[in-house]
């Protein structure tokens, strides 16, 4: 084998090895991402109702998430009770968000951003078309999305009572604040009875 043939032979093998390494790294990275990375890409929504915008703006201004941003998140639940539309705000530990969503059979709608704070939007309305019909005057979807790693399908959605087995008892957690939309206004719910009526329904 002359020098030119040897040089060509080595070049072919070097190119082959480089391609093999690149493909191997790509496959490895992709599989790692699928197995190791939790979370959902959620769609961004914008508020188009002035009354709701005012409420969300006041709440996000009043809650300081700068320091506990790694621990806490703000959620907005869009609900319908009888003929009333309701807007419940919770401040939740990120580690508990997944459990709350699936234990209450909530729809993950997406998120919105206000005062540089992300607000996770949920709903108790199962059917997507019903949800759109009811709340299209309040929020609208955008083409933007963002990954939320603390929202994911838990491997064990049903918790087990460590002492006696079976389902453990759960505390009822009241929302930070809740509003009902009446006469084209957002009215803050002051009486605690409204909350227990809805939770016990």
* Range of weakest confidence among 9-18, 108-117, 136-145: 9-18
Reply yes or no on whether the pLDDT at 186 is more than 50.
yes
Q: How many domains does the chain have?
A: 2
The secondary structure of residue 161, as a DSSP letter, is -
pLDDT at 31: 36
d(C-alpha 123, C-alpha 87), whole Å: 9
Q: 28 and 46 in one domain? A: no
**15 and 60 together in one domain:** no
Is residue 114 located within the same domain as residue 189? yes
- Report DSSP state, residue 8: H
Answer yes or no: do 6 and 76 share one domain. no
Above 80 in pLDDT, residue 176? no
Residues 54 and 122 in one domain: yes
Angle subtended at Cα 121 by Cα 116 and Cα 126, rounded to the nearest 5 degrees: 170
Instruction: Clarify whether residues 68 and 16 are in a common domain.
Output: no
List of residues 6+ apart from 3 with CB closer than 8 A: none
Q: Assess whether 101 and 128 both reside in one domain.
A: yes
Range(s) of the domain holding residue 59: 40-158+167-199
CB atoms within 10 A of CB 76: 25
Q: Is the pLDDT of residue 4 over 80?
A: no
Q: How does pLDDT run across 123-166, given as a tens digit for each residue?
A: 999 899 999 999 999 999 999 999 998 888 766 555 665 666 56
Same domain as 1, residue 31? yes
The CA distance from 126 to 80, in Å, is 11
Same domain, 30 and 70: no
Half-sphere exposure of 77 (CA within 13 A, CB side): 23
- Residues 86 and 149 both lie in one domain: yes
Alpha carbon separation from 179 to 36, 77, 108, 127, 130 (Å, rounded): 39, 10, 20, 22, 20
State both tokens at 87: 């807007």
In order of 19, 34, 125, 140, 160, the CA distances from 59 in angstroms are 54, 36, 23, 20, 35
β-pairing, 84-93 with 177-182? Answer: antiparallel
Cα separation, 154 vs 156, whole angstroms: 5
Contact 110, 153 (CB under 8 A): no
The mean per-residue pLDDT over the stretch 14-28 comes to: 45
Range 13-32 average pLDDT: 44
177 and 109 belong to one structural domain: yes
**Pair 46, 115 in one domain:** yes
Residue indicated by tokens 């480089």: 18
- Mean residue pLDDT of the chain comes to 75
């Amino acid at each position: 084998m002359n020098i030119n043939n040897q040089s060509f032979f080595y070049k072919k093998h070097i190119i082959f090895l480089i391609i093999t390494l690149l493909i191997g790294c790509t496959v490895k990275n992709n599989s790692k991402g699928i197995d190791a990375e939790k979370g959902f890409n959620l769609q961004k929504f914008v508020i188009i109702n002035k009354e709701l915008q005012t409420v969300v703006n006041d709440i996000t201004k009043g809650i300081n998430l700068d320091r506990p941003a790694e621990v806490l998140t703000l959620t907005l639940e869009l609900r319908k009770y009888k003929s009333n539309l309701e807007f419940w705000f919770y401040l939740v530990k990120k580690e508990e968000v997944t459990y709350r969503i699936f234990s209450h059979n909530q729809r993950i709608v997406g998120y919105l951003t206000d005062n540089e704070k992300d607000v996770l939007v949920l709903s108790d309305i199962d059917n997507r078309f019903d949800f759109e019909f009811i709340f299209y005057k309040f929020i609208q979807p955008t083409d933007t999305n963002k990954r939320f790693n603390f929202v994911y399908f838990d491997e064990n959605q049903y918790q087990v009572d460590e002492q006696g087995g079976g389902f453990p008892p759960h505390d009822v957690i009241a929302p930070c604040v809740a509003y009902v939309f009446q006469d084209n206004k957002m009215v803050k719910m002051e009486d605690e009875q409204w909350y227990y009526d809805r939770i016990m329904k």
